[in-house]
Amino acid sequence: MTHANPVNTHMHYKADENRRLFIKKDIIEISLWTDDLEYKNTEINSFSILNRQLIKSERLQNTIQDFRRRNTLIMGNICKYEQHLRQELEFGTIEYDLNRAKLHEKRRAEYVNLDKEYRALKTDIFNLLSKFKRE
């Protein structure tokens, strides 16, 4: 009969504890991203209405539509990633290593790039709106 080495058992427990902690941290961050992307979707709908009723720019409408599609696509990807992490948290045993950290950083970069695009779009819209004068 083989007895478990208490040092190895403790190290395995500690590694699993850290793995679970890192995954929980990633899930919390993803939750912030999804909240923000949902809010952006609400704002983009308002911008679309502003454009149709006031600005009336076909180019802007196409840009808004393009952003809405990318926002939806990235939201879907992030939701799938979150589901994967939740399954890994509950049932998984894969170590949280450099590869997993790089995968999360890749997802973060996608989110950050979309956020930068959104800020540029908002700036364009506000610049267009600033040209209107009240009579």
Are residues 54 and 125 in contact, defined by beta-carbon separation less than 8 angstroms? no
Q: Tens of pLDDT along 56-107?
A: 999 999 999 999 999 999 999 999 999 999 999 999 888 999 999 999 999 9
**Cα–Cα dist 13/71, whole Å:** 39
* Residue 8: per-residue pLDDT: 60
| Three-state DSSP state, 93 | coil
* Residue 93: per-residue pLDDT: 85
Q: Is the pLDDT of residue 14 over 90?
A: no
**Cα–Cα dist 37/124, whole Å:** 19
Domain map (residue ranges) of the chain = 26-130
Q: Is the pLDDT of residue 13 over 80?
A: no
Are residues 19 and 96 in contact, defined by beta-carbon separation less than 8 angstroms? yes
Are residues 132 and 54 in contact, defined by beta-carbon separation less than 8 angstroms? yes
What are φ and ψ of residue 120, in 5° steps? -65, -40
